[in-house]
């Protein structure tokens, strides 16, 4: 399954979802989302995403900034461990983020949603949040307000320091000592106030030498007159450290006591962050909520592949599982066949992950137990497998596990071998998958599969439209119409001589010419019906406007 998800590029969508999250845990959860086939779970997730989308539109986005996973710190605190300032600040930041989230929900005018249980499981703890932020200014600094004792100790340290500076300032500006000093400044070494004395004058200043300059020309002396005061400051600094440790331990105990509450609130906040990330992604994709079923019915209207530039992607209408269980899509290379089936597979997976899909809101998506994929050339040199062998190996695995709750997507079924055998094998594979009850989307170039789809109930042709005049695909997907080969028309347009084209038409045989003629008539009839439909829609709109004008 993981390989199939990667082939459909679900991992790239989940990477986009990760980029919409605000915290590491939510980002990790986004990348690890697995599609679920549990219908109730899918409905619940989709409803949560839709409710978040609605809340975003009405009240703006909630903030998830400042959320940290503090579970490890809380666990240590709960068994008596002392947390450092960084850990405590992370706890306070998380509490502030949780409170902000809770208050945001409180401003949502009492709107009831499927997210209410998550919001209501959040416990605000402004007491601990304020206490930590009051005590700790930064990772390196504890506030004087942390305790009266700490305030008193620091007041004494400041007084002692000021007293020492006064004494030393008087000393360095004294005519007696100035001549002995390298500079008239007061500095510190190892937390003790000193003055810089010329090395040759060290005997003229009584005191303790604490350091020497790198050149040896200066010694840093603590004058004897301030030794006692410096000792007092050192004692006070020790008391300051003890008081800070006591404060940190007290805060750690408090955090440990609220540990379970904080942990549960954090987990709810992370879940909400992921859900709102889904809503943000839906907003960027202009996505909508599909109608979900378990009947294998897919009916996508104006569906867009989410990884293609929204200004360039051509929306498609595609259905499967209601009137027919198999859709065979034909058309030229680079015409959009592969993108069409990948769009169906990826949008189905997105729905099963609880994501809204870039399609019209009345679109239908079924939940499947298995989404089985063979798309792209997976030739393996190491295993000595040719393109055809690799392709058939994948198909063989699909045939083993497919059942009535499987969506099977196969690109270029039967390709890479003799056309007659490949076409016959393709028909047999489709028949076997249909016997197993799977819903099948397949692309092909084989005319035999077009004929098989025309002749078989439950199997329908589709094609990616091609404009022969411009020699380019339109990327529009047409259901019920087999694709034409266009090889002769393209060759004639490019300049191949008519007699060469005529000879080629003779070689392919009358059956093929008749088949292409039928397709020509179907194409002409389709264009005529489309023009009539547009004219009818225009007339209906004009009539509606006239009726509205008459009523007013």
**DSSP code per residue over 53-76:** HHHHHHH-PPP-TT----HHHHHH
What confidence tier does 541 reach under pLDDT thresholds 50, 70, 90? confident
Q: Which of 125-134, 173-182, 435-444, 526-535 has the lowest mean pLDDT?
A: 526-535
What confidence tier does 514 reach under pLDDT thresholds 50, 70, 90? very low
Q: In whole angstroms, what is the distance from residue 138 CA to residue 363 CA? A: 53
DSSP secondary structure, 267-303, as one string: HHHHHHHHHHHHHHHHHHHT-BPPEEESSS-EEEEEE
Greater confidence (94 vs 475) lies with 94
Cβ atoms of 399 and 429 closer than 8 Å: yes
The residue-averaged pLDDT of 315-338 equals: 84
Assess whether the region 148-235 and the region 289-483 belong to the same CATH fold: no
- From 47, 44, 20, 45, select the one nearest 31 (Cα to Cα): 20
The yes-or-no verdict on residue 292 having pLDDT over 50 is yes
The yes-or-no verdict on residue 469 having pLDDT over 80 is no
* Residue 71 Cα distances to 66, 218, 528, angstroms: 15, 52, 67
Q: In whole angstroms, what is the distance from residue 276 CA to residue 21 CA? A: 8
Cβ atoms of 369 and 297 closer than 8 Å: no
The yes-or-no verdict on residue 513 having pLDDT over 60 is no
Looking at residue 168, its pLDDT comes to 87
CA angle 368-373-378, nearest 5°? 160
The yes-or-no verdict on residue 105 having pLDDT over 90 is yes
What confidence tier does 326 reach under pLDDT thresholds 50, 70, 90? very high
The yes-or-no verdict on residue 298 having pLDDT over 50 is yes
- From 211, 169, 174, select the one nearest 197 (Cα to Cα): 211
DSSP secondary structure, 220-268, as one string: EEEEGGGHHHHHHHHHHHHHHHHHHHHHHHHHHHHHHHTHHHHHHHHHH
pLDDT in tens, 234-254: 999 999 999 999 999 999 999
Measured in whole angstroms, the distance separating CA 127 from the mean position of its chain's CA atoms is: 34
CATH number of the 2-125+258-283 domain = 1.10.1420
pLDDT in tens, 53-91: 999 999 999 999 999 999 999 999 999 999 999 999 999
The residue-averaged pLDDT of 402-420 equals: 85
Q: In whole angstroms, what is the distance from residue 519 CA to residue 485 CA? A: 10
CATH 1.10.1220 for domain 148-235 = no
Q: Which residue has the tokens 């990772």?
A: 139
Looking at residue 332, its pLDDT comes to 65
What confidence tier does 537 reach under pLDDT thresholds 50, 70, 90? confident
Q: In whole angstroms, what is the distance from residue 211 CA to residue 221 CA? A: 8
The yes-or-no verdict on residue 451 having pLDDT over 70 is yes
The residue-averaged pLDDT of 293-315 equals: 90
Q: Which of 112-121, 217-226, 459-468 has the lowest mean pLDDT?
A: 459-468
- The architecture of the domain spanning 289-483 is 3-Layer(aba) Sandwich (3.40)
The yes-or-no verdict on residue 492 having pLDDT over 50 is yes
What confidence tier does 381 reach under pLDDT thresholds 50, 70, 90? very low
Torsion of CA 410, 415, 419, 425, to 10 degrees: -40
Q: In whole angstroms, what is the distance from residue 427 CA to residue 133 CA? A: 71
The yes-or-no verdict on residue 190 having pLDDT over 80 is yes
Domain residue ranges of the chain, discontinuous segments joined by +: 2-125+258-283, 148-235, 289-483, 485-552
Torsion of CA 147, 151, 157, 163, to 10 degrees: -170
CB atoms inside a 10 Å sphere around CB 141: 9
CA angle 475-481-483, nearest 5°? 60
CB atoms inside a 10 Å sphere around CB 391: 25
What confidence tier does 175 reach under pLDDT thresholds 50, 70, 90? confident
Q: Which residue has the tokens 């729905």?
A: 351
């Amino acid at each position: 399954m993981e390989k199939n998800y990667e082939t459909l590029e679900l991992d790239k969508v989940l990477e986009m979802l990760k980029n919409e999250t605000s915290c590491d845990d939510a980002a990790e959860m986004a990348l690890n989302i697995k599609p679920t086939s549990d219908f109730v779970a899918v409905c619940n997730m989709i409803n949560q995403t839709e409710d978040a989308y609605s809340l975003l539109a009405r009240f703006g986005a909630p903030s998830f900034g400042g959320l940290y996973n503090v579970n490890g710190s809380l666990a240590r605190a709960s068994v008596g461990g002392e947390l450092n300032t960084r850990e405590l600040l992370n706890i306070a930041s998380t509490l502030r983020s949780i409170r902000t989230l809770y208050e945001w929900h409180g401003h949502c005018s009492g709107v009831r949603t499927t997210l209410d249980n998550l919001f209501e499981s959040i416990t605000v703890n402004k007491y601990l949040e304020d206490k930590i932020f009051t005590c700790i200014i930064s990772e390196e600094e504890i506030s004087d307000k942390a305790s009266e004792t700490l305030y008193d100790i620091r007041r004494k340290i400041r007084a002692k320091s000021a007293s020492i500076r006064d004494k030393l300032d008087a000393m360095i500006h004294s005519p007696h000592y100035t001549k002995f000093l390298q500079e008239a400044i007061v500095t510190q070494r190892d937390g003790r106030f000193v003055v810089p004395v010329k090395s040759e004058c060290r005997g003229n200043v009584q005191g303790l030498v604490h350091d020497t300059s790198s050149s040896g020309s200066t010694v840093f002396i603590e004058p004897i007159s301030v030794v006692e005061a410096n000792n007092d400051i050192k004692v006070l600094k020790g008391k300051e450290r003890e008081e800070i440790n006591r404060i940190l331990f007290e805060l750690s105990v408090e955090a440990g006591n609220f540990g379970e509450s904080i942990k549960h609130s954090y987990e709810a906040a992370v879940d909400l962050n992921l859900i709102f990330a889904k809503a943000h992604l839906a907003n960027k994709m202009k996505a909508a909520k599909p109608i979900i079923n378990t009947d294998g019915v897919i009916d996508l209207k104006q569906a867009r592949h989410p990884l293609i530039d929204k200004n360039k992607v051509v929306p498609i209408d595609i259905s499967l599982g209601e009137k027919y269980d198999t859709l065979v899509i034909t058309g030229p290379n680079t015409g959009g066949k592969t993108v069409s089936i990948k769009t169906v597979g990826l949008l189905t997976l997105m729905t099963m992950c609880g994501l809204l899909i870039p399609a019209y809101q009345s679109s239908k998506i079924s939940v499947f137990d298995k989404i089985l994929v063979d798309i792209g050339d997976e030739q393996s040199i190491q295993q000595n497998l040719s393109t055809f062998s690799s392709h058939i190996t994948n198909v063989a695995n699909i045939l083993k596990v497919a059942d009535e709750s499987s969506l099977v997507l196969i690109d270029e079924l039967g390709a890479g071998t003799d056309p007659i055998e490949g076409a016959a094998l393709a028909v047999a594979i489709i028949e076997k998958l249909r016997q197993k009850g799977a819903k099948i989307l397949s692309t092909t170039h084989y005319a035999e599969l077009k004929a098989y789809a025309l002749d078989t109930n439950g199997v329908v042709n589709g094609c990616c439209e091609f404009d022969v005049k411009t020699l380019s695909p339109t990327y529009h997907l047409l259901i019920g119409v087999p694709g034409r080969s266009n090889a002769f028309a393209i060759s004639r347009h490019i300049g191949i001589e008519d007699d060469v084209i005529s000879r080629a038409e003779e070689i392919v045989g009358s059956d093929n010419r008749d088949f292409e003629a039928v397709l020509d008539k179907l194409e002409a009839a389709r264009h005529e019906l489309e023009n009539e439909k547009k004219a009818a829609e225009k007339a209906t709109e004009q009539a509606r406007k006239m009726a509205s004008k008459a009523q007013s």
